[in-house]
């Protein structure tokens, strides 16, 4: 199908200094949880994007020297020849598909605790370190500044030697040394590198000029600059010093990559921001420089992308998360298949990989991180290995992905759903405040399934074990989901809470079904992810008097890994929801809950005409257990396999459910050679 001519502008080549990008799609630097630990995994992940049509593929932060050690987070490094070889793997991989390779050189200054190297952290001034570490940062001397400039130049030369095309000078987030020098909050120097803005910009200018001198004959030099910290007068703003810095350095780099600081502002979740939300902060940059400008905004709509270019906001469409959700996004637009784009839902599950020190994962794209170790391609799956038929029971995220992937392989598939619509938990949760984009998990898969003649879907079709045995299918995949526990068992309470069997005690399932509550309402969150706070927010917006009670020290603590905990807690407090942390429920009364401090065991009580227990879930595995207990009966019915997937096997995230549905579909007729180790391990070769 020819591409829509409205999108032609997206495929114009863009000159960036001495190199040329084949189109305007630019994968900006982003973390991935692979870094120096798994260089082949990293290279293969980036290669998928180059194959999918992205013109520029960049690394994550690439640490230039052991004084910038980000352990335990697995970032990239360019400390020595070994690291150069690792970078070369990625560069070679993206070059195979005609893309440019960019390297984001970084030194994290105050943000680098050097836990592995045990070198003293350095920064513009003496100050306490960050991340609750019992250390301090040493203020840099003039000699230290000269050394830093040398380290950066050497790293740029290593990147050039690895055949990279674009070399970054990085002042993009408040975790970087160059940003610390720019910041009047971090930089308390009184010499020529501190005080006035011109002095605070001095080091950035010197590094930029020296990088151009070192590699500018062949490599483009980009600068990543945070033009606003969202701190008002206390920080850099797009109306103040951010604008002045751009004006001072306007023509020095070959490309401006502009964003917000810090990372949690730059990569806001869809719960708190819309597509293109950064425009109001970065739109001025293109008016102040003749060099190409790239920016981000969680862009998934080609119309929004074209609008950014035609209105003179950006020259290139930057993306991190959308390029993860769909590495083939540019190619789909180019081929007139924009309806097939697997749109990012803005959940930041990808970020959680980095912050839990594990390879990245994605709710929408189950293949990410598996390109090397399992050999998964984001678009292609091996064709079917037989003519076997499949019955998938349950059209939640796991069942939809299993049916879609099996259908893509060419198998005849029947998808049976007990409810009158698809989506399962996705349909329920996307109705909560701020989660509308999550419905894309359902909608993309249903859109693909509806194009497949070999996949039939039946709604309002509840099946029992006996029904399944009477049907004529070779393989049965059960994706029957999970149910919220109504007894309070969860992370803290390993047994039922006394009094949980009363009528005024409900679960999120009751809230979704429209159960009417009397007030005041206590929401007890021992799930510790997003659900407790969202239920509290929903009920508050409906007019209830709400108290959010949790044994944790803060609201929704696991969302620290999706970089939205502070926004969630602020939203709860701004709504006037009372928050009680570090307290557990010991007993549920008729109109009160008895509590106990998790530290002191000091007793207390809260008025509660209704109590919502958001604690844990149990698999809906009754059908699976019944079918699995009698292999002979299965054989008599012609069923070769029964498999439980997703929450019906082990309740977890939506991303985990999608992953399991995808994995089972790929491996149904091609199981791993070694089931005890079903993927390749990337191991550094030991020296003799």
pLDDT digits (tens, 9 = 90+) for 642-658: 999 999 999 999 999 99
The pTM score is: 0.96
pLDDT above 90 covers a percentage of the chain that reads: 93
Would you say residue 368 lies in a domain? no
Beta strand 293-295 pairing with 603-607: unpaired
Supply the DSSP symbol for 516: -
pLDDT above 70 covers a percentage of the chain that reads: 99
23 and 114, same domain (yes or no): yes
601 phi-psi bin (left φ>0, alpha ψ -120 to 50, beta other): left
**The pLDDT value given to residue 688:** 53
Residue 687: pLDDT band (50, 70, 90) is low
pLDDT above 80: residue 685: no
The helix/strand/coil state of 561 is helix
Quick check: 565 and 557 in contact, CB under 8 A? yes
Average pLDDT for 615-623? 97
Residue 111: pLDDT band (50, 70, 90) is confident
List the CATH number of the domain containing 253: 3.20.20.70
Instruction: Provide the domain limits for residue 217.
Output: 5-355
Reduce the secondary structure of 186-241 to three states and give it as a string: CCCCCCCCCCCHHHHHHHHHHHHHHHHHHHCCCCEEEEEEEEECCCHHHCCCCCCH
Reduce the secondary structure of 382-410 to three states and give it as a string: CCCCCCCCEEEECCCHHHHHHHHHHHHHC
Residue 686: pLDDT band (50, 70, 90) is low
269 and 163, same domain (yes or no): yes
pLDDT above 90: residue 130: no
Pairwise CA distance, residues 3 & 110, whole Å: 48
Mean pLDDT of the chain: 96
Give the residue among 159, 193, 156 at the shortest CA–CA distance from 177.
193
**The pLDDT value given to residue 524:** 98
**The pLDDT value given to residue 362:** 98
Average pLDDT for 140-160? 98
Would you say residue 66 lies in a domain? yes
Q: For residues 407-434, b (16+ Cβ closer than 10 Å) or e, as one string?
A: bbbebbbbbbbbbeebbbbbbbbbebeb
Would you say residue 114 lies in a domain? yes
pLDDT above 60: residue 624: yes
549 and 642, same domain (yes or no): no
**The pLDDT value given to residue 683:** 86
pLDDT above 90: residue 10: yes
199 and 101, same domain (yes or no): yes
Pairwise CA distance, residues 657 & 663, whole Å: 10
286 and 146, same domain (yes or no): yes
pLDDT above 80: residue 211: yes
pLDDT above 60: residue 561: yes
Pairwise CA distance, residues 330 & 3, whole Å: 11
Quick check: 666 and 385 in contact, CB under 8 A? no
608 and 644, same domain (yes or no): no
199-210: pLDDT as tens digits: 999 999 999 999
195 and 317, same domain (yes or no): yes
636 and 605, same domain (yes or no): no
121 and 61, same domain (yes or no): yes
- The token pair at 41 is 């995994």
Average pLDDT for 386-403? 98
Task: Say what angle helices 654-667 and 397-409 make with each other, to 10 degrees.
Answer: 30
531 and 591, same domain (yes or no): yes
Pairwise CA distance, residues 147 & 253, whole Å: 22
Supply the DSSP symbol for 69: -
640 and 610, same domain (yes or no): no
Active site residues: 31, 170, 173, 266
**The pLDDT value given to residue 318:** 98
Average pLDDT for 458-482? 97
Beta strand 220-228 pairing with 255-260: parallel
Would you say residue 685 lies in a domain? no
Number of domains comprising the chain: 3
């Amino acid at each position: 199908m020819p591409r829509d001519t409205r999108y032609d502008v997206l495929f114009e080549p863009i000159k960036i200094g001495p190199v040329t990008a084949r189109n305007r799609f630019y994968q900006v630097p982003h973390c991935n949880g692979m870094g120096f630990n798994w260089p082949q995994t990293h290279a293969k992940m980036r290669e998928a994007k180059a194959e999918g049509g992205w013109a520029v593929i960049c690394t994550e932060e690439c640490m230039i020297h052991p004084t910038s050690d980000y352990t335990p987070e697995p970032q990239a490094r360019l400390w020595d020849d070994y690291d150069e070889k690792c970078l070369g793997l990625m560069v070679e991989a993206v070059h195979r598909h005609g893309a440019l390779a960019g390297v984001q050189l970084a030194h994290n200054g105050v943000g680098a605790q050097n836990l592995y190297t045990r070198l003293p952290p350095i920064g513009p001034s003496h100050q306490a370190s960050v991340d609750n570490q019992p250390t301090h940062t040493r203020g840099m001397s003039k000699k230290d500044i000269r050394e830093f400039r040398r380290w950066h130049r050497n790293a740029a030369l290593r990147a050039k030697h690895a055949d990279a095309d674009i070399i970054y000078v990085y002042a993009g987030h408040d975790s970087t040394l160059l940003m610390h020098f720019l910041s009047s909050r971090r930089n308390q120097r009184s010499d020529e590198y501190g005080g006035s803005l011109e002095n605070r910009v001095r080091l950035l200018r010197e590094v930029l000029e020296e990088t151009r001198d070192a590699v500018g004959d062949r490599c483009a030099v980009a600068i990543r600059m945070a033009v606003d910290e969202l701190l008002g007068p206390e920080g850099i703003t797009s109306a103040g010093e951010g604008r002045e810095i751009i004006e001072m350095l306007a023509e020095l780099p070959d490309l401006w990559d502009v964003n917000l600081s810090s990372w949690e502002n730059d990569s806001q979740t869809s719960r708190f921001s819309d597509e293109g939300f950064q425009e109001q902060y970065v739109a001025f940059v293109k008016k102040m420089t003749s060099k190409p400008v790239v920016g981000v905004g969680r862009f998934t709509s080609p119309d929004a992308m074209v609008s950014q270019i035609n209105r003179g906001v950006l020259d290139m469409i930057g993306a991190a998360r959308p390029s993860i959700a769909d590495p083939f996004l540019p190619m789909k637009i180019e081929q007139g298949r924009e309806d097939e784009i697997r749109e990012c839902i803005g959940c930041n599950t990808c970020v959680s990989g980095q912050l839990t020190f594990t390879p990245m994962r994605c709710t929408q794209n189950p293949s990410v991180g598996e390109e090397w170790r399992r050999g998964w391609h984001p678009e292609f799956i091996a064709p079917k290995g037989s003519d076997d038929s499949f019955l998938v029971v349950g059209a939640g995220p796991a069942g939809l992905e299993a049916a879609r992937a099996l259908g893509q392989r060419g198998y005849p598939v029947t998808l049976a759903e007990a409810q009158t619509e698809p989506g399962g938990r996705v349909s329920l949760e996307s109705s909560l405040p701020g989660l509308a984009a999550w419905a894309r998990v359902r909608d993309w898969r249903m859109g693909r399934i509806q194009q497949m003649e070999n996949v039939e879907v039946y709604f309002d079709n509840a099946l029992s074990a006996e029904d399944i045995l009477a049907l004529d299918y070779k393989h049965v995949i059960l994706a029957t989901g999970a149910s919220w526990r109504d007894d309070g068992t969860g992370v803290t309470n390993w047994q039922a809470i006394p009094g949980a069997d009363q009528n005024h005690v409900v679960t999120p399932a009751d809230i979704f079904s429209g159960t009417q509550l009397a007030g005041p309402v206590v929401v007890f969150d021992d799930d510790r992810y997003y659900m407790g706070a969202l239920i509290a927010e929903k009920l508050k917006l409906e007019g209830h008097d709400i108290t959010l009670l949790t044994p944790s020290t803060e609201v929704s603590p696991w969302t620290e890994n999706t970089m939205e905990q502070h926004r969630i807690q602020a939203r709860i407090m701004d709504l006037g929801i009372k928050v009680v942390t570090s307290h557990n429920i010991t007993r549920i009364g008729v109109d009160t809950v008895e509590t106990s401090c998790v530290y002191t065991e000091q007793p207390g009580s809260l008025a509660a005409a209704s109590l919502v227990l958001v604690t844990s879930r149990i698999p809906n595995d009754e059908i699976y257990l019944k079918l699995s207990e009698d292999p002979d009966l299965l054989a008599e019915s012609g069923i070769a396999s029964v498999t439980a997937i997703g929450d019906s096997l082990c309740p977890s995230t939506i991303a985990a459910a999608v992953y399991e549905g995808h994995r089972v579909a790929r491996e149904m007729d091609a199981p791993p050679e070694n089931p005890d180790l079903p993927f390749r391990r990337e191991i550094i070769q030991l020296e003799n």
